[in-house]
Chains A and B, each alone.
Chain A
Amino acid sequence: MAAKQTGNGSTPAIVCEGVKKWFGDFQALSGVTTTIGWGEVVVVIGPSGSGKSTFIRCINRLESHQAGRIVVDGREMTNDLRNIDAIRRDVGMVFQQFNLFPHLTVMENITLAPIWVRNRTRTDAESQARQLLERVGIPEQADKYPGQLSGGQQQRVAIARSLAMNPRIMLFDEPTSALDPEMIKEVLDVMKELAESGMTMIVVTHEMGFAREVAHRVLFFDYGTVVEEGTPEHFFTNPQHDRTKLFLSQIL
């Protein structure tokens, strides 16, 4: 994979070393170590409760890790708020429940952060938002409210909202799990297009077809750690670990 030349070039997009996280006494992450390069598409799969969501929520600090290091674009994730804000501006996130702002129109949802965080003018932000809506295939919905859209359309707006900040890394937390089956494809199509454009992506998903087709690498999570990782061909055709074999036999 040709690495996209960004930032200070030589540093990888994301480096995790022995990341650990507890919720009370429950250990959600028990030492995650992985490195993700620029332009790489990584799919994270695993049974529920295995820590996949917690892992990507740690990457933009929606959860804070308690041990280990996370370095995003050369900046280590610490408690320094300014560092966190700077990292969040470069890392977009798409949620399972979309989390669109219901009191704002689609257009306002997308332009809110560019105007307030990136200090762009309204006209400027709106013309960019129109391009993004075109890109995710719903240019005609700009003046509607989220509640008037279908689930698939809402999730595509959520993707456009993240892209409006021109992030270099996108995190997807089970983006299709709350959707009706007929709407999953329209969201996956947008994500495929995004992956082909060279975006660095981490995707937590149960869509094995997507993983097979788009991923450069698959991480299999269980008990808060990476049990097995590899290319999709290796992972789906020749899994090494017993836990992986069991999981694949249950879902395929």
Chain B
Amino acid sequence: MEQMTPPQTAELAPEKPRSGPWAWCRENLFAGDTWGPIAFNAFLTVAFVLIVLNLMGFVTTYLFAAERRWAAVTYNMKLLMVQAFPQDDLIRIWVSIGIFAVLVVWSLASWEFGGQISVEKMAQGVRAAFVLVFLTGIMHHGEGAASFGLPFLRFDNPADWSSIRTWIELASLAGAVAAHFFAQAAHRRESEQTVPILVVPVLGMALVTLALWTVWLPVPEGQFDETTARIATTTARPWTILFGVTILAYFVGIFLHRQRPKLMRRVLISAWILSYPIIIFVIQRDPILDWADILGFGETPFLSSDLGTLLIFGILGSVVIWVVGLPPNRAVTGATVGILGVIVGLMSFAFGDGPLWSTVLMAAIGLALVAAAITIHEPVEMVRAAGAGLAMLALIIWFVPMPFVYRTFMVALALALLSAPVFGGTEQGRANLVRAWIPISFLIVAAFLLGGSDTSLEFQSTTFLGGFNLTILLAISGLALSLPAGLVLALARTSSLPIFRLLATGYIELVRSIPMITWLFFGSAMLTAFLPSGVEFDEIVRVVAAIAIFNSAYVAENIRGGLQAINKGQYEAARAVGLSVVQSTSLVILPQAIRTVIPALVGSIIIAFKDTSLVAIIGLADVLLIARNFVPQQSDPNFQGTLTQMMFFMALFYWVFTFTISRLALRYEKSIGLGER
């Protein structure tokens, strides 16, 4: 009865006539039926166009003024990007970018990104761009550009910047005319011609590669013996290789996707989570990459090597979670909890040089675990008890001297055990828990590579971190911490338990009412005083913590807004079908709440990205500080006093990144149908 067929005689909507450029202008720019409104609208249009063109004219005047020294940007590119990163180790940066690029194109392949773009529309876009460049050029206010008197047709001084402008004017005019005829030709075709949208970035990369190898610019005095040099003197080859690898990887990705689509997506999600610790490993591992040490057959004992630490916690943790995640019977769970108890008991001897009370408590927890294994009959209850015991242990060990990495792992393991009865219980549930545990082990090891001070893992000094390298690291690490923290805070603030509500509200109100810069000072200078004695973090880690503290409050308020928008009936329905409180929240309420607040969260992400530039105040050399201070104050007279050029470039640089984030988020919103269901 619900297959409704439309009546056979249904009428088609009349086809909208395609309007040409003239009709479009008439409708949109000079609208009106009588002369009065037409004149008024025409006045508005002309005035507005003149204002906009005039403003753009200021920009071109600035860009092409003879005294501009853009070499300050190109010649300091390495300084801006990686600051003092050792020249011989730059390959690490390229490998990191390569990992990222390959993951991006594989994701594009796996989620079948793309679609078609009409050739006509593309030509129209190109035409509009060329017209804009041409009109902007006319408005040039610089020397010899007094008015509309066609000053750009001045060929007498080819060495002058303005002659470049002349060529740009002529080229853009020619380009606009060519694009116009191309669009007309495409329009006249019977069937609409389209190309895959991915052709656009590939063409872009090809053009950039071509420019890298063929464009030569004058060299500022004293830089080289030559008078001209390619725009990318040192990076042309790596970029070319990278573009090649990217395009190749895309086709490999398409091939893999056709073989095993579901597997590929799963692997990619894990790879994205793992890419963060892996990239940090690639960039930060000790300058001399000694594989013998990393793999554990060098001088470092195996258990303290990178691989050893990872294996112990990765595999041991996985096994424990696997066993307790689905209590098959009392005996196996009991044995596991019992063994855990014995290990904890032994720990009290191994790390016995802490305060006496901590040793006693550790031994007591070990005994309690063994007792729980013997006396509790319900396996789920036993796992809960073990989780509670380990959680207490995780608190105590902060007062006991031991490698820092062990403490962190203990906290993570306690959390995993506490969540095992909730999210485990099924084959799938515990597989998911183990799957989550493996990246967590990687993350913890990576965190210690980045800045743990008393682990046996060796790491490269963070003084090498600077420039955009540092900016992106602070932004991603800060967000990776503040998004989950904000989620927890939002849930706590809307919780029915008053103690959670009070704590979360207090935290959020306190953090939001203190400026970010103060928090950065807190992280840089004061945080150490709040930690147990002997616990010390690297400055970068402390700054990341400060950023996370600050952002999490804003993220929490965003998510709280989403939580409040969810109808109470959703929760009731989830509870009525038998889901527990935690399951109802995580499976029904949160996914909807987070969807609702994606636009607000993207705003927070963009703000967090830009706010990393504030770390300059506590002396970290992020990309903006280098552009603001280091470059214009260099001893090289070519770059002295180039502050405005550097700032202009920085504005463009930040804009490219934030605009990309915002467009990607918009695409994502559309793909999940935000606002439709």
Contacts and interface: CB of A to CB of B under 8 A. Distances in A.
A188 to B, nearest CB: 13
Contacts of B595: 103
A223 interface: no
Contacts of B228: none
Interface in A189-213: none
Given A95-B573, A116-B583, A122-B428, A186 B578 contact: no
Contact of A117 (B569, B579, B588): B579
A148 to B, nearest CB: 7
A85 interface: yes
Contacts of A161: 577
B575 interface: yes
Chain A, interface size category, equals: 35 or more
Interface stretch (A17-25, A34-42, A86-94, A232-240): A86-94
B578 A165 contact: yes
Nearest to B580: A85
B677 A102 contact: yes
A92 B579 contact: no
Contact of A147 (B579, B587, B677): B677
Contacts of A186: 1-2
A75 to B, nearest CB: 14
A165 B2 CA distance: 26
A143 to B, nearest CB: 13
A147 B575 contact: no
B146 to A, nearest CB: 61
B426 A119 contact: yes
Contact of B426 (A99, A113, A115): A115
A54 interface: no
A78 B676 CA distance: 41
Given A95-B569, A103-B592, A138-B2, A117 B677 contact: no
Contact of B575 (A88, A119, A138): A88
Interface string A179-190: 000000010000
Contacts of A164: 577
Contact of A165 (B567, B572, B577): B577
A115 B429 CA distance: 10
A99 B425 CA distance: 27
B637 interface: no
Contacts of B583: 116-117
Contact of A162 (B425, B575, B577): B577
Interface in B649-676: 673, 676
Contacts of B429: 116
B579 A113 contact: yes
B427 interface: yes
Contacts of B2: 137-138, 150, 153, 186
Contact of B576 (A92, A103, A112): A92
Nearest to B594: A103
Interface in A76-130: 85, 88-89, 91-93, 95, 97, 99-103, 112-113, 115-117, 119, 121-122
A101 B580 contact: no
Interface string B1-32: 11000000000000000000000000000000
A116 B576 contact: no
Given A121-B427, A122-B428, A147-B677, A99 B579 contact: no
B587 A116 contact: yes
A138 B3 CA distance: 10
B498 interface: no
B163 to A, nearest CB: 60
Interface in B562-590: 567, 569-570, 572-580, 583, 587-588
B506 interface: no
Contact of A116 (B570, B572, B573, B579): B579
Contacts of A122: 428
B492 to A, nearest CB: 20
A158 B573 CA distance: 9
Contact of B588 (A101, A145, A158): A101
Given A116-B583, A119-B425, A145-B677, A102 B578 contact: no
A60 B587 contact: no
Interface residues of B, number: 28
B569 A85 contact: no
Contacts, number: 83
A137 B579 CA distance: 26
Contacts of A162: 576-577
B578 A117 contact: yes
Interface of B is mostly: helix
Given A101-B570, A186-B1, A92 B577 contact: yes
The residue in B429, B573, B591, B592 that gathers the most chain A C-beta atoms within 10 A of its C-beta is: B573
B575 A62 contact: yes
A137 B1 CA distance: 9
Name which of A88, A93, A115, A116 has the most chain B CB atoms within 10 A of its CB: A116
Given A103-B591, A147-B677, A93 B570 contact: no
A150 B4 CA distance: 12
A146 interface: yes
A116 B422 CA distance: 10
Interface in B234-250: none
Contacts of B569: 95, 97, 99
B671 to A, nearest CB: 13
Interface in A130-144: 137-138
B426 A116 contact: yes
A37 B572 CA distance: 26
Interface in B521-577: 567, 569-570, 572-577
B266 to A, nearest CB: 14
Contacts of B673: 145
Contact of A62 (B572, B579, B580, B592): B572
Contacts of B577: 88, 92, 112-113, 117, 161-162, 164-165
A76 to B, nearest CB: 19
B576 to A, nearest CB: 4
Nearest to A149: B2
Nearest to A141: B2
Contacts of B576: 60, 62, 88, 91-93, 95, 162
Most buried by A among B577, B588, B595, B673: B577
Contacts of B575: 62, 88
> Which of A93, A102, A115, A150 gathers most chain B CB within 10 Å?
A102
Given A95-B572, A99-B569, A101-B573, A147 B578 contact: no
Given A85-B580, A121-B428, A165-B577, 5 more contacts: A62-B575, A112-B587, A116-B429, A147-B676, A162-B576
30 contacts: A62-B575, A88-B575, A92-B576, A95-B576, A99-B567, A99-B572, A99-B573, A100-B573, A101-B570, A101-B588, A102-B592, A103-B591, A103-B592, A103-B677, A112-B579, A112-B587, A113-B577, A113-B578, A115-B426, A115-B428, A116-B429, A116-B579, A116-B587, A117-B583, A145-B677, A147-B677, A150-B2, A153-B2, A162-B576, A162-B577
Q: Which 3 A-B pairs have the closest CB atoms?
A: A147-B677, A99-B573, A113-B577
